[in-house]
Structure 1
Amino acid sequence: MHMGTDLSRTNLNDVFELPKEEALHAFYERMVTIPITAISSLKQELRSTIGDDRSKGIFVRYGWHNGVSDGEKALSCEWKSELDLINAGPKLHQLHGYLDRVEINDIHYDDEGDLDAIDVSWFNSFEADEFLKGGIPSDQPVCHTMCGYASGYLSTVLKRPILVKETKCSAMGEDKCEVICMPMEKWGQELENEYRYYQSNSMIQELDEITAKFKKERDNLNKAYHVHRKLIEELLAKQGLKKIVDLLYETTGLPVFIENEYNQIMVQSDHVTIDFDLEKINTETTKFISGPDGTGILRTPIWLEQEIKGYCSFLYLDGHTPNDLEHMVIDQASLTASIILLNENIKVNTEQNIRRGFLSDILGRRLEKEELYKIAYYLNFNPDDSYWMLTMERDINNSELNYEIEVNEDLIRYINLFFKERHVNAIVSQKAGKIIILVEYSSFKEVCMKQLKFIKQLLKHCSRRFGNYKFFVGVSSVVEKIDQLPILYDETLATLKAKNPNKQVQFFEDLGIESVLFQLPDETLINRFVHKQVGQLLECDKNSELTETLYAYIENGLNINHTAKALTMSISGLRYRLDKISDILNIDLNDTQSVFSVYMALNILKTKGKIKI
C-alpha cells in the first residue's frame, strides 16, 4: 500500500490492518500535522475574542468537515454492510490521534429496523486532557471537535443527518467521555439548542444586523429624548396633565388617557373610546393588554411616594402593538405625570389643610368675626352666602384607632374628589372620628339637584371604594352666615343621635320638637328621659298595642271620638285601654304637660326606629 493506491478496490477493514503511517497515506495524499498545544492555544484565543459559544461552534464545524472528509474516503472503499462503515469511524478517529480508544457500547434500532441511536464511549480525549491542564474541572462537556467529527462522518456514510451530543466528559471529572449519536429527526426539542452549532454564521452579517439594530435604537433614543425635552418644557412652564396628554397624542399619534388611583379618567386626548374594565387591568409595571376587536392598551403606573397614584395609557386599534419607542415614551410620560401630580398634591393638600384648620377654628369658636370673614374671602368662601353641613358616621374599631384615622383620611380625599368633579365648593374634614362636610349653598344650587339625591350619589361614590362600611349621614338645616356654622355642626350631631338603623340619611328638620333633646351632649340623658316617660309601658306592652293607642290618642288631640275612628275601635274599648295606660304610666292622660313629655319620648323612639307606629 502506498501513495496513489486506488481505494475503490481496497476493503475498508484491510486499511486498518496496515501500520499507522501507511494507513494515513492510503487515505490521504497529503497531511499537515498540528500540535495539540497549538489547537489549545487557538481555542483560548477564540474564547477570549469571540466568546465560548462562538468558539464552540467553530470547533464543532471544524470537526464536522474532518468527519465529512473521512466519511467520503470510507465510502470510496469496498465495504460489506452499514455496520462496517459505522465501525470504521472510531478507527479513523483514533488514527488521527484525537483519543486513545473508542467503544461502541450499543446500536439501537426501532421496530421498523431504522437506526435509533448509537451509544459510544471515548477514552483519553485530547480536548478533555488539555482542558484539565488548567487545573479546574469544567461544568460542561468540552469535546467539541470530536463531536463535530463523529457527526460529520456518520452523516456522510449513513447519508442522513446524524447529530452527536456529549452527555459525559472527562473534563467534568468523569472516567471517560460518553456520547449519543442520533438521527436528527429523533432529537425532538433538544435539537434546536445543539444544531445551531453546526450552522455557519457570517460575523459580518451579524455585525451589520447589530449595527442596524443600534441605529434603530439610536433613532428611538433621539426621538424619546425629543419627547422628553418637550415634556420637561411643559413641566417647567407649569402646564397640567391635559397639556401632557395633547403633546403625547401629537407626538405618537396614539390616543392617550391618564387615570387617578381610583381608575377615574382625569384627562384624555381626542378619539378615546375605552372598552376595558380599567380596575381589572391595573399593573405595577409597564404592560400591554390585548382587548376586544383588535384593541389594546399599553399601560404604565404613575408612582408617587412609593404608591401608585394613577395610570398613563396608550390606546391601540386594528391589531397594532407598541414598539420600543412607545415603551420609552410612555415611561417618560409617567415620570412627568408623577411630578405634576406631586406638585398638585402639595398644592391641594396645603389648601385643604388650611381649609380644614379654618373649619376647625370656626367650630371651636376661636375666630373673631372680622378675622373669620377675612380668611373666608381668602379661601374663596363668601361669608354672607348660605351654608349647610353633612356629618358622616361609620363603625369604628377603637382598638385600631390609627388605622381608622388613616381610613378617614383616605375617605376625605375620595369625597373631595366627588365635590371637585361637580364643582361644588366644600370643606371636608374629620372630627371625633366622624367626617364633616361643609357645603356652600350657592355652588351646590348649580348642580340642580335635591339634597337627598345628591347625598345618595355621594354615598354610592363612597361605596365603590369603601364597600365594607355602612355610612349614616346627618344633614343640617341651612344658615345664612358663615359664622353660624357651629349651629349646623350641633344639628348634624343631634341628627346622628336620632339615627334609624334602616335609614342612612336623616335630616335635622325632620326631627320635630324632640330635636332639642337630641342636642344634649350626653346621650345617656336622652335614654334616661325616654325610660322615665315610657319605660314601664314598653315592658308591659310586648305587642305595642297600647303604645300605638297612646300615640294615636295624642296625635288626635286627646279626642276620644277622633281616636276611636282613627283606630276603628269602640269608644268603650278605647277607654279601657287608656285607663290601663294611665295606670301603667301613673299619669293623668288629661294633663297636657305629662302627655307632652310622653309624646316626645315616643317620637324619639320612633325616630330611632325602636318602635314602629
Structure 2
Amino acid sequence: MDKSLPQHRHTTFTEDGLIYMEGSRTILIPTSSVGILRKELYENIGMNRVKGFLIRYGAHLGREDAKIIKKKFKNETTVTKIEKGPVYHQLRGHTKATITRMKVKNYQDKISLYLEGTWEDSYEGFEYVEQFGIADAPVCHTLVGYANGYLTEICNQKVVFKEISCVGIGDKICKWVCRTVDYLTDEMSEELKFFKEEPIVKELELTYEKLLEERNHLKNVSTINNKLTEEILKGKDLPAIMNLVYELTDTAILVESAEFKPIASGGLSQNEWKEINESFKEYIHCQKLKRKPFYQTEIISLENHTRLTSPVYLQGELNGYCSFICDLEDKEPHLLQMIIERISTICSLYLLNKRTELEAEERVKGRFLEQMIHGEYTKEEIVRRSHFVGVDLFQDYYMVVVCIETLFDSYKKDLTFLEEVMNETSLYFQKQGKSILTGQQGNHLVMLLLKQEVEEEGIQKVCEHYLETFSKKYPSVSFRAGISMSSDEIEKASESYQEALTSVRMTSKTNNLMTFESLGILGPLINSNNKKEVERMALYTLRPLGEKLEDHKNLELIKTLYSYLLNGGNLERTASDLSLSLSGLRYRIGKIEKVMEQDIKHPEVSYKLLLSIQALISIGTLDLEKY
C-alpha cells in the first residue's frame, strides 16, 4: 500500500514528511516568520544591503526554476517558456503573477524582451506593512529578484525588473515592468547595482577605509580646534585667529555680521571682500524671500565665487556667517565642512564673550550714571571715578530720557526688554564712534551724550535718527524721547535728568521728540522745587474737570480741550486729530464751556488752560497718551 501523501504534478509529499518540488527538496515557512527575519536584517545590516540580499536571493530561486523549465520544455517556444514563469512563481507561494503585456524578439542566441504585469497577494508587501507600516518605496524585493533571475536565464542576457506600484506603499495591487538591457532606461539602470554582490569582507574594508579617513579628518580638525582655543585663551582677537586659520588650512576665510559687514578675515583683502559681498547679500535676500532659513552649513556657488558657509548663532539668533572662500574641486569639502563648523562655534563663543564683557561694562557705566542722577557723588568723586567708564565727563553734555512703551503683560518682560534695548543702544552709538553712558530709571532709558560728539549733526538729529532706527527694529514698541539743555556741570546731572524727563512727558504719538528748550517758560517753571504748588494751581484752573482726573468723562473733555488749544482753536484740525465729526466736536466744546463756565476762545483764558494742562502732563499727573 502506497503510504505517501497526496501528490501534485510539480510537487511531491513523501510519507516521512519531506517535500520535493521538481525533484528538489523544499521547505514550508510561514510568511510571518519571513517578515520577522526581514525586520531583524533591516535592524542589523541596513535597508539597502537587505534589498540587495533579497533581490539576489530571489534571483537564485528564479534561475533554478528557469533551468528546470528549459530542460522540461526545451522544444517549446520562447513565449511558452516565459509564460511558465508566473506559474512556477505562484507555486513558490510568493504571489499570483500575471503578464499583461509582452514584446519578444529573438536575436541569435539572445532574446530581447519587454514585459508588463501584476502581482496579486504579494506576501512581501503584506508582511512589510505588518512589520513596519506603509513604506516610502516598493518593497517586493524577493519577487523582483525571482522574476529577474528566471527571465535572465531564459533570455540569456541581463533582465531588469522594477515595481511601479506596490501594496507595501498603500497601492491595491503590485504592478511591474521588465526590460532586457537593450530596452533599459536610465531610471531602471539604477537597479542593476543591487544584483552585484559585494562580499561583506569587501564592504568591511571600504568601511574601515572610510573610518580611517574620518579619523584623520577628526585629528586634523581637533589639532586646528586646539590651536584656536589656545589663541583665544591668550587673548587674541578674531582677526588674528582667522589669519591663523588661513595659515593652517591654506584656504581664505571670512567672518561677516548678520548685516553682511566684515568682522574678520584671513587670506582675503578688503577689495576682494567687496567684490564677493554683494552677490552673497543678494543670495541670502533671495533665500529669505523664498522662506528658506539658513540653519546649516551649505556650499554656495555664486557668479564670482564659491563659498562653504556656516551660520554663526548666538543665543538662538543668527549673528553672522563664517565662510571658506575657495574652489572646492581642489579641496576636501567634508574636511573643510568639519573645520568651518568648529570655527563657527568658536566665533559664537568669542562673540558671546565679547557681548558678556560689553554688558558687564555697560552695567558699570549704567550704575555710575544712575548714581550721578541721584546726586550720590560730589564733583571730586565723579572726577576720580570717570576714568573707569572711559567717558570724559568734564565737557558739555546732554541728558536724554527715552520712554519705551511695550505690549508685554508682565513687568519682568518689560525689564528684560529694556536691558536688551540698553545693550543695543550702546552698540548703536559705539558703531558711530560716540561715547555714551546709558542707565535705567523705571521704564525709561537714560543716556548721557557729549555735546562735542553730536555738535556736527546736532543733538536733535542724532536722537531723531536713533528713534527712527529703533522704531524700525522693534515695530510693535513705542519710543519717545526728551532732551535736556546742554550743561557743563556734571555734578548737576540730576537737574539735566529732570529737564529730559519733563521734556519726554510732553511728547505725543504725533511728536515723539521734545527738547527742554522748546517748552519755553513752562520748563523752568516745572523744574523748580514747587511741583506741588504748580499741580494745585493747575488743577484749580481746570476746575471742575481737574477735580476728578480718574473720571473717564472728565479725561475725555480735557483731551478734547487740549487738542483744541494746541490747534489754536481750529475746529477742522482738532476734529481730524480726535477722529470726531465737526458737529460732535462743537457739542464737546459747548459742554466744556458750560461745565467750566469760561469762554475758552478768549486768549487769556485759553493760555492759562493750555499752560495748566501742559504743567500737569510735564510733572506726570496727567497722561493723555494712555487715554
For residues 64 and 299 of structure 1, the distance between their equivalents in structure 2, rounded to whole angstroms, comes to 51
In the alignment, what sits opposite 1:257?
Answer: 255
1:79 to 69, 76, 79: 76
Contact between 2:451 and 2:459, CA under 8 Å: does it hold in 1?
no
In the alignment, what sits opposite 1:503?
Answer: 511
Question: Following TM superposition, by how much is the alpha carbon of 1:340 offset from its aligned partner in structure 2, in angstroms?
Answer: 2.0
For residues 544 and 166 of structure 2, the distance between their equivalents in structure 1, rounded to whole angstroms, comes to 98
1:239 to 228, 236, 240: 236
Question: Following TM superposition, by how much is the alpha carbon of 1:373 offset from its aligned partner in structure 2, in angstroms?
Answer: 2.6
Contact between 2:81 and 2:154, CA under 8 Å: does it hold in 1?
no
In the alignment, what sits opposite 1:116?
Answer: 116
Question: Following TM superposition, by how much is the alpha carbon of 1:256 offset from its aligned partner in structure 2, in angstroms?
Answer: 1.0
- Secondary structure of the 1:394 match is strand
For residues 216 and 11 of structure 2, the distance between their equivalents in structure 1, rounded to whole angstroms, comes to 67
Distance 1:483 1:216, change over 3 A: same
Contact between 1:110 and 1:116, CA under 8 Å: does it hold in 2?
yes
For residues 349 and 164 of structure 1, the distance between their equivalents in structure 2, rounded to whole angstroms, comes to 64
For residues 17 and 384 of structure 1, the distance between their equivalents in structure 2, rounded to whole angstroms, comes to 110
2:373 is the alignment partner of 1:363 = yes
Which letter maps to 2:100? H
- Secondary structure of the 2:507 match is coil
In the alignment, what sits opposite 2:445?
Answer: 435
Answer with 499-508 or 202-211: which moved more.
Answer: 202-211
2:493 is the alignment partner of 1:485 = yes
1:145-160 equivalence runs, <5 A: 148-157=145-154
**CA distances 1:234-289 after superposition (whole Å, capped 9, x unpaired):** 111112222233333443523412426x7765445533232315576595732327
2:287 is the alignment partner of 1:307 = no
Question: Following TM superposition, by how much is the alpha carbon of 1:292 offset from its aligned partner in structure 2, in angstroms?
Answer: 5.1
For residues 88 and 602 of structure 1, the distance between their equivalents in structure 2, rounded to whole angstroms, comes to 101
Question: Following TM superposition, by how much is the alpha carbon of 1:428 offset from its aligned partner in structure 2, in angstroms?
Answer: 1.4
1:197-208 equivalence runs, <5 A: 197-201=194-198, 206=203
For residues 379 and 141 of structure 2, the distance between their equivalents in structure 1, rounded to whole angstroms, comes to 94
Contact between 2:562 and 2:613, CA under 8 Å: does it hold in 1?
no
TM-score between the two structures when normalised by the length of structure 1: 0.66
Which letter maps to 1:244? I
Which letter maps to 1:117? G
1:295-334 equivalence runs, <5 A: 295=305, 298-304=308-314, 306-308=315-317, 310-314=319-323, 316=325, 323-334=333-344
2:64 to 60, 63, 66: 66
Contact between 1:263 and 1:310, CA under 8 Å: does it hold in 2?
no
Question: Following TM superposition, by how much is the alpha carbon of 1:90 offset from its aligned partner in structure 2, in angstroms?
Answer: 4.8
Answer with 55-64 or 313-322: which moved more.
Answer: 313-322
Percent identical among aligned pairs is: 16
Distance 1:357 1:526, change over 3 A: farther
**Structure whose CA Rg is larger:** 1
For residues 541 and 416 of structure 1, the distance between their equivalents in structure 2, rounded to whole angstroms, comes to 37
- Secondary structure of the 1:495 match is helix
2:345 is the alignment partner of 1:335 = yes
For residues 164 and 338 of structure 1, the distance between their equivalents in structure 2, rounded to whole angstroms, comes to 50
Distance 1:603 1:343, change over 3 A: closer
For residues 188 and 207 of structure 1, the distance between their equivalents in structure 2, rounded to whole angstroms, comes to 32
For residues 156 and 413 of structure 1, the distance between their equivalents in structure 2, rounded to whole angstroms, comes to 77
Distance 1:138 1:392, change over 3 A: closer
Contact between 1:74 and 1:85, CA under 8 Å: does it hold in 2?
no
**CA distances 1:162-197 after superposition (whole Å, capped 9, x unpaired):** 63879999xx9xxxxx99774238999996786543
Which letter maps to 2:214? E
- Secondary structure of the 1:389 match is strand
- Secondary structure of the 1:474 match is strand
Answer with 63-72 or 236-245: which moved more.
Answer: 63-72
In the alignment, what sits opposite 2:594?
Answer: none
2:222 is the alignment partner of 1:225 = yes
- Secondary structure of the 2:402 match is strand
- Secondary structure of the 2:429 match is helix
Contact between 1:68 and 1:149, CA under 8 Å: does it hold in 2?
no
2:387 to 377, 382, 389: 377
Contact between 1:67 and 1:149, CA under 8 Å: does it hold in 2?
no
For residues 117 and 352 of structure 1, the distance between their equivalents in structure 2, rounded to whole angstroms, comes to 77
Question: Following TM superposition, by how much is the alpha carbon of 1:515 offset from its aligned partner in structure 2, in angstroms?
Answer: 1.3
- Secondary structure of the 1:503 match is coil
**CA distances 1:530-585 after superposition (whole Å, capped 9, x unpaired):** 7479999997997999979xxxxxxxxxxxxxxxxxxxxxxxxxxxxxxxxxx958
1:152-171 equivalence runs, <5 A: 152-157=149-154, 161=159, 163=161
Distance 1:488 1:216, change over 3 A: same
Contact between 2:480 and 2:512, CA under 8 Å: does it hold in 1?
yes
Q: Which runs of 5+ in 1 are unaligned?
A: 1-15, 21-30, 126-130, 132-136, 173-177, 549-582
In the alignment, what sits opposite 1:56?
Answer: 54
Distance 1:364 1:32, change over 3 A: same
For residues 288 and 143 of structure 1, the distance between their equivalents in structure 2, rounded to whole angstroms, comes to 37
Contact between 1:86 and 1:154, CA under 8 Å: does it hold in 2?
no
Contact between 1:59 and 1:144, CA under 8 Å: does it hold in 2?
no
Distance 1:322 1:143, change over 3 A: closer
2:184 is the alignment partner of 1:184 = no
- Secondary structure of the 1:384 match is coil
Which letter maps to 1:528? L
Distance 1:103 1:19, change over 3 A: same
For residues 205 and 122 of structure 1, the distance between their equivalents in structure 2, rounded to whole angstroms, comes to 33
Contact between 2:373 and 2:497, CA under 8 Å: does it hold in 1?
yes
Distance 1:474 1:81, change over 3 A: closer
Contact between 1:389 and 1:436, CA under 8 Å: does it hold in 2?
yes
2:272 is the alignment partner of 1:274 = no
2:460 to 438, 452, 464: 452
For residues 103 and 384 of structure 1, the distance between their equivalents in structure 2, rounded to whole angstroms, comes to 95
- Secondary structure of the 1:274 match is helix
In the alignment, what sits opposite 2:411?
Answer: 401
Count of matched residue pairs: 513
2:424 to 414, 422, 439: 414
- Secondary structure of the 1:429 match is strand
For residues 325 and 350 of structure 2, the distance between their equivalents in structure 1, rounded to whole angstroms, comes to 25
Q: Which runs of 5+ in 2 are unaligned?
A: 1-8, 14-21, 106-113, 547-556, 571-597
Distance 1:525 1:465, change over 3 A: farther
Question: Following TM superposition, by how much is the alpha carbon of 1:389 offset from its aligned partner in structure 2, in angstroms?
Answer: 1.2
Distance 1:100 1:157, change over 3 A: closer
2:474 is the alignment partner of 1:466 = yes
- Secondary structure of the 2:476 match is coil
